[in-house]
Amino acid sequence: MYLRGVSTRKVAAITEGLSRARIGKDAVSRVAQRLEEELSAWRGRPLELAYPYLYLDAAYFKVNWGGRVVDLALLVAVGVNE
């Protein structure tokens, strides 16, 4: 929900409604910050192995973007090492 732009307060309310577990907006913010840090570290990691095979593809989906329905490409890259 956070990645889709839902506010931390609304994430807390939705989580409570779905699971009956009460999670405060501060906890949501901390979890989101940790996820962003881990994702940033994963994206910036060095690729030390050689990947002799690289498969690239894209799939297009219609999404609601800023109040308009547009085509959005989901890019996929798969590297196969030795």
The predicted-structure confidence for 14-41, as pLDDT tens digits, reads as follows 888 888 888 887 888 888 889 889 989 9
Whether 38 and 53 map to the same domain: the answer is no
DSSP state of 47: -
Please state, in angstroms and as integers, the Cα–Cα distance from residue 50 to each residue in 7, 30, 36, 44, 80, following that order: 41, 36, 27, 17, 9
- What is the pTM assigned to this prediction? 0.50
Whether 55 and 72 map to the same domain: the answer is yes
Tell me, what's the pLDDT at 3? 64
The pairing of strands 53-65 and 68-80 is: antiparallel
Enclosing domain of residue 59: 49-82
Name the domain count of the chain.
2
